[in-house]
Amino acid sequence: AAGKTPVLCRIEEAKFKGMVRPGDTVSIEVKHVETLQQFHFMTGTVRREGKAVLTIRFALALVDKSD
């Protein structure tokens, strides 16, 4: 959204399942689950060599840049 800044407002169920070291290449997948007013609920997975090293649920709020 133009003129808006995403602000991390909630982290739930963050599960760290492996190490990521300098030089490792990771892929990040994020899925939008639901929107309630200005809040966007998401899930995410970080993978190293195809194996999940982090799974997480989180929420972002979109706020006006002037706030």
In the chain the domains, ranked by start, together with CATH numbers, are 4-64 (3.10.129.10)
pLDDT at 27 over 60: yes
Q: CA angle, 12 as apex, 64 and 28 as ends, to 5°?
A: 75
% of the chain surpassing 70 pLDDT:
97
Hunting for tokens 């989180």 — which residue is that? Answer: 58
pLDDT band at 3 (very low <50, low <70, confident <90, very high): confident
pTM surpassing 0.85?
no
Could you give the CA distance from residue 48 to residue 26 in angstroms, rounded to a whole number?
5
pLDDT at 19 over 60: yes
